[in-house]
Amino acid sequence: MRSGQPIDYRLRVTPWARGISLRVTVAGALEVVAPRRYSPRTILRILTREAAWIESAQANAAARRQALPLPLVWHLPPEISLPAVGARWTVTTQLAATRGVRVIEPDPDGLVVVGPVADPAACRHALRRWLLRKGQDHLLPRLADVSHGCGLSYSRSTVRLARSRWGSCSRLGVISLNARLLLLSPALVDYVLLHELCHTRQPNHSPAFWALVARHCPTYPAHRRELLAAGKQLPAWVLDPGDVHPWARDW
C-alpha cells in the first residue's frame, strides 16, 4: 500500500459493533467491521491513518501463508492435538459412498473421517463440525466453573467457529466462545473465559475493565502476550483463507 493508492477493503456492517475494527485475513485481505453510524469518509480517514499497521499486518499474513500449507492446498492432518483438554488423536480415513463426510471416534485415541474423503472441502467442514462439538462439550462446562469461581455470572453461552475473536460478550451477558480455544493451553483458555466474564460487568476495555481482570488474574499481561503468540501458531487444518488470524485492531 503506497501513498496515494486506493485502499482495497471489504466492509461488513454489524449493528452491534461498538466501533470500527480493522482485520487482515490469512489470505491478506483487509476487512472493516463497522456499525451503521460510520460514514465512508470516516472509514477512509481511519484506513489512511492506519496505513502502516495495515501494511505490517498484510506482511505478517504473507509470511504465515509461506510458513503453512493453508487451505489453498489443504490436507487432512495425520494427527490432531487439543491441548486445552490434554487429548491427541491419530486421524485416518475411510472411503464410503455417503452424501457427506463425518468424523467418528472409534476409540479414545483415534478419529476416522468417513465418506467421500477425496473432497478436501467436505473433510475440512467435517473436522470443523467435530471441533465445534468438542468445544460445546468442554468449553461450556469450563465457563460455568470459572464463573462460579470468580463470582461473575452470565446469561447464557454459545460456542462457534468465529473468524476473528477467541470470545465475545454481548451487553445482555451472552458469552460466545470460539471452538478454536481448544487448541490453546488450559491456562490461556481460562484467561479468555475470565476476560469475557469481566465484560459482563465492564462492557468495554476501559481502565476499570482491566482493573477487574487484574483483580481475578494478576498475571493477565503475560497471558495476553502468550495468546497473541499462540494465535500465530494455529495448525493449518483449522484455518481458511478468509479467517482473521491474529492481525486485528479495534477502536
- How high is the pLDDT of residue 229? 84
Domains of the chain from N-terminus onward: 10-67 (no CATH), 78-234 (3.30.2010.10)
Look at residue 247 and tell me whether its pLDDT is greater than 50.
Answer: no
Structure-model confidence comparison of residues 28 and 81, the more confident one: 81
Residue-level length of the chain: 251
Largest CA distance in the chain: 59
Q: Cell 470500527 maps to which residue?
A: 20
Between helix 207-216 and helix 186-198 the angle, nearest 10°, is: 140
Look at residue 108 and tell me whether its pLDDT is greater than 80.
Answer: yes
Burial letters for 51-80: b for 16+ Cβ neighbours within 10 Å, e otherwise? Answer: eeebeebbebbeebbeebebbeebebbeeb
- Nearest-angstrom CA–CA distance, 157 and 144: 9
Q: Tell me if 117 sits within 8 A of 95, measured CB to CB.
A: yes
Computed over every residue of the chain, the mean pLDDT equals 86
Instruction: For residue range 160-203, list pLDDT tens digits in order.
Output: 988 778 999 998 999 999 999 999 999 999 999 999 999 999 99
